[in-house]
Structure 1
Amino acid sequence: MLRKLCKKYTELDQSDIKKLENISQILPIIADLVRANVFIDCATSDPNAAIVVAEAKPTTCPSMYEYSVVGELALRKNEPAALRTLEIGMATRDLKAITQENKTVRQSVVPIHNDAGDVIGVLIMEEDITKDVKQDRKMEFLAETTEQLTETLLNFRDSEYTVTYHINDAIVMFDQQGIATYGNPGAKKLYKKLGYRDSIIGMNFDNLVLDGNSFNKLINEPCLKVSEATVGKLTLQIKYAAMKQKNKIVGVTMLIKDITEVREKEKELILKSVAIREIHHRVKNNLQTIASLLSLQSRRINNDLVNKAFNESINRILSIAVTHEILAQNGVDDVDLKTIVTKIKNSTIKYGLPCMKNIKISVEGDSLTINSDKATSIALVVNELLQNSLEHAFDGKTEGFIEIWIQKGSMYSSISIIDDGRGFDVKAIKMGSLGLNIVKSIVKDKLHGHLNIDSTENGTKIIFDFKNE
């Protein structure tokens, strides 16, 4: 597994990989000695990600991991120690990190050098510090959860030095009779904005409630309740929780959060989404109109070579239109790649299949979401390769099969176009071919990927990859 991962994700040579394999064999011993999980990570082509190529769990104490993380990525934002040591070759001690299972640990990292002194990987030891982190996040939990706030509020309700005094959200406390006994500055400011002239302290719950909840129901069903209410131009999120002292309910806390701006932003996004859909719809229509005009023009020309150029241009324009058609339907900037490729296949079957030939085309593999810019580039490449296969692969044949295979990867995904045609000499490809130049340019400059062509007398396989988001 280590060798396979290194060949796929790294640029390490055979001797470097062999050295990492030797070290990986003693990882279990190291894990037991340090009583911790240990890993070997290697650099990838992405400067912000490393790949886990080996791991070992201690047998002398419980492991922090439920599953294997070999083959998973270590991202800079989660594991800065690993990436730092890989880059500068210096050991990193006791730096916090987030694991692939979303647990907080403390990492110590040392570099692994080859015979030339180059860093070829890092050895990582991890210690569980979840308890410490939970303690550090105590105030965050208190501020977020109303039920946890109430115990503190009861003890410090009148102090201006408490956290609640400086929270912008409105906090109102009611006693067992439903009378307001505490309101922080956020609450007083909110009710003043709603037109209340008197102090809210001493008011009955029925005069302050904004969403129609019943006080008796709240105090008799002591569980956290959340609702949303529109008051004037404000949209408010309201939480209720019963307050307890010594397991006895002594009142109710009401926390009100102004989410007006959030809802306004959501409305703006919806309106923008509608506008974007309309734009994509018009672009698609314009592209199809251009393709139709070119088609009409080509019919007036009796030159086969010129008509061939016209048809190639029409197919390229229609392949771009496919992306805008899907974007017009979705209203978002992300599209499903398999849907794009399937539409190109259907268009090819409808307009591009050679006469008197029975050629079947299938689309298989994974579904993955990509942005519109990448979708347009991939659509052009797939269309170009598919048209090329239809034009050249089945000369002298009456039937054939083309398979388009999509494979999703962790860092790079790929698309393969495989036919069972007559094949060709890869070395004899015309370097001046416009179609091939378009494909090479898009794959390299737009998709930041690689193109590989393999052909024999039994058929041709062309594969190109592209970096994931």
Structure 2
Amino acid sequence: MISWKDSLDKETDLYPTQQALLLQFSERLSFGKAISEQGVSLLVQAKDGHLLLSGALDSRHTGTVQKLDIPLEHPIQQILDTGKPFAGLLEWEEETDSGITVETYHAYIYPIVDNGGKCIGACAFTNPVSEVYSNRYDEFMSMVSQTTFQGMLVPQLQQPELYGGISVLDGIIFFEQDGTILYANRAAKKLGDIFGIDRRIQGTSIYSSTLKVGRIKKALEDRLGTIDEELYGDIALRQVMIPVVLGVRWKRGILVLQDKTELRKRDQQLLVKNSVIKEVHHRVKNNLQSVAGLLRMQSRRSTSEDVKQALQNSIHRIESMALVHEIVSNFDEDYVALRSIIEELWRLLRQGLGSSEQRIDMEYIGEDIIMSSHKASYVSLVMNELFSNLFKHAFKDRIKGQVQVEVRDVRDVGHYDMLHISIRDSGCGLPDDFESTRKSHLGLQIIENLVRNELDGRISWTSKGTGTVVDIWIHKGEEYARLSSR
């Protein structure tokens, strides 16, 4: 697909400032089509006499730049040559499966002139005659086309949000600066029944309706567009006001009415759902902390060092799960940032397992990955076991140490999206019998089972005398992809 910029560079002798004007105009073709409910095209004469066309004469011509051979006596060529507007019936040859056919259009074509008054292009508003059933079509569409064209030609450049997101379901009203309604589409007429606008609508005043028009009036006075959302009983209505300047003292308004009631109801339902989820996570956290408290009491009463150690390990595992629920309870949805879990878990374990003389620092490197609370619970258990082993073994007799946790999005050899978590420490390294004894350690078994069975991943351990590197690869899957697209 050839872009307008490439076409203007290659096919015309227009200056950069003239090209910039046409490029800005081309960006608002979709807006013009939505507002006027007609086909809207940008027409430019190429240096070899051909016609460059982009936009829509009908629903089949959208988005691409076409280069067409048009006879010199054709009305479009005359418009580009003379710079005079055209209103009337226009015949257009089109290629179909059965050959060349001639379609007749109602057409309103306006010249686009540069600062020096030279015609550099034209904008055509068209609709096939076969699709027009109103005997007042020309009366209304002439005004609609002229106003829309002026709104496209002299837009609110600092407010691009005014020109997007308009659909066929939206109500559109054109009115004079005194409030007289000139035209309203079908969707606007349906909404008019709700807001007390006369069913005859054309010729009545928009200011006599129950619409909240204070901002509408001010937008016209200030020549500055506005976007507001107003409540009318149970109805949430988004009002997009676009002022159109047609002369020194002549102004019109285009009012877009968008019914957001269902969207706001869904937002409210989602808010209630999120509040319930947050409360559930809060209660689960409290229950887990109560269990940890009971185990802590039992540990203090036990006279066996082995029992105390086993209970303390269980307490740390329970607290790591409680940590996830605590963090999630402060989020608006049921997901959590991995970095916050890792950093808070490190802080808790350093307080519980490290001595006051030790200076063991942890550095988080890489991306702040978002994941569901379900997956985060498993990751927190794995990190709990790894961090606990660092304090119990890697830095057991050391005062200083460094730990780096690096998290990256990667792709494996099968081109699957993976989450790579790498934990490097400056501790004493792995013992010589690590491989032969790893299956006898409960903590290492927990890590292996969680990574393989719950996180659908794999883990590796490497050590070269000083320090250890633990690499964990986790398949992200649909759950991660959905969360990362928020």
Normalising to structure 1: TM-score of the pair?
Answer: 0.61
- AA aligned to 2:62 is D
User: Within 5 Å, which residues of 2 pair with 1:192-341?
Assistant: 192-196=193-197, 198-208=199-209, 210-213=211-214, 217-219=218-220, 221-222=222-223, 224-242=225-243, 251-341=252-342
Q: Is the 8 A contact 1:338 1:406 kept in 2?
A: no
User: Within 5 Å, which residues of 2 pair with 1:150-229?
Assistant: 167-175=168-176, 177-196=178-197, 198-208=199-209, 210-213=211-214, 217-219=218-220, 221-222=222-223, 224-229=225-230
Percent sequence identity is 27
Judged with a 3 Å threshold, the aligned counterparts in structure 2 of structure 1 residues 178 and 419 are, in CA distance, closer, same or farther, namely closer
Q: Is the 8 A contact 1:341 1:363 kept in 2?
A: no
RMSD: 3.6
| Distance in 2 (alpha carbons) for counterparts of 1:150 and 1:264 | 40
| Distance in 2 (alpha carbons) for counterparts of 1:358 and 1:231 | 64
Matched residue of 1:457: which SS? coil
Q: Does 1:408 align with 2:440?
A: no
Matched residue of 2:173: which SS? strand
| Distance in 1 (alpha carbons) for counterparts of 2:276 and 2:124 | 46
Q: CA deviation at 1:225?
A: 3.1
| Distance in 2 (alpha carbons) for counterparts of 1:344 and 1:419 | 16
| Distance in 1 (alpha carbons) for counterparts of 2:296 and 2:364 | 31
Q: Deviations over 1:125-183 (max 9, x none)?
A: xxxxxx79996259xxxxxxxxxx99779966768xx9xxx933222222464322322
- AA aligned to 2:364 is E
Q: Is the 8 A contact 2:353 2:392 kept in 1?
A: no
Q: Does 1:420 align with 2:426?
A: yes
Matched residue of 1:167: which SS? coil
| Distance in 2 (alpha carbons) for counterparts of 1:435 and 1:272 | 36
Q: CA deviation at 1:214?
A: 6.6
Partner of 1:461 in structure 2?
469
Judged with a 3 Å threshold, the aligned counterparts in structure 2 of structure 1 residues 157 and 210 are, in CA distance, closer, same or farther, namely farther
Matched residue of 2:350: which SS? helix
Q: Give the aligned length.
A: 325
| Distance in 2 (alpha carbons) for counterparts of 1:184 and 1:241 | 16
Q: Is the 8 A contact 2:426 2:466 kept in 1?
A: yes
Pick from 429, 436, 457 the counterpart of residue 437 of structure 2. Answer: 429
Q: CA deviation at 1:381?
A: 0.6
Judged with a 3 Å threshold, the aligned counterparts in structure 2 of structure 1 residues 357 and 173 are, in CA distance, closer, same or farther, namely closer
Q: Is the 8 A contact 1:400 1:420 kept in 2?
A: no
Q: CA deviation at 1:372?
A: 1.2
Q: Is the 8 A contact 1:183 1:201 kept in 2?
A: yes
Judged with a 3 Å threshold, the aligned counterparts in structure 2 of structure 1 residues 306 and 218 are, in CA distance, closer, same or farther, namely closer
| Distance in 1 (alpha carbons) for counterparts of 2:353 and 2:247 | 79
Structure with larger Rg: 2
Matched residue of 2:438: which SS? coil
Q: Is the 8 A contact 2:196 2:210 kept in 1?
A: no
Q: Deviations over 1:94-150 (max 9, x none)?
A: xxxxxxxxxxxxxxxxxxxxxxxxxxxxxxxxxxxxx79996259xxxxxxxxxx99
Q: Is the 8 A contact 2:424 2:468 kept in 1?
A: yes
Deviates more, 1:316-325 or 1:357-366: 357-366
Q: Is the 8 A contact 2:198 2:204 kept in 1?
A: no
Q: CA deviation at 1:323?
A: 0.7
Q: Is the 8 A contact 1:224 1:239 kept in 2?
A: yes
Runs of 5+ in structure 2 lacking a partner?
Answer: 1-9, 11-53, 65-122, 128-135, 145-166, 411-416, 481-486
Q: Deviations over 1:428-468 (max 9, x none)?
A: 33313221111111112222222110123312222213234
Q: CA deviation at 1:348?
A: 0.7
Runs of 4+ in 1 over 6 A off after TM superposition: 131-134, 149-155, 244-248
Runs of 5+ in structure 1 lacking a partner?
Answer: 1-60, 62-130, 139-148
Q: Is the 8 A contact 1:335 1:375 kept in 2?
A: yes
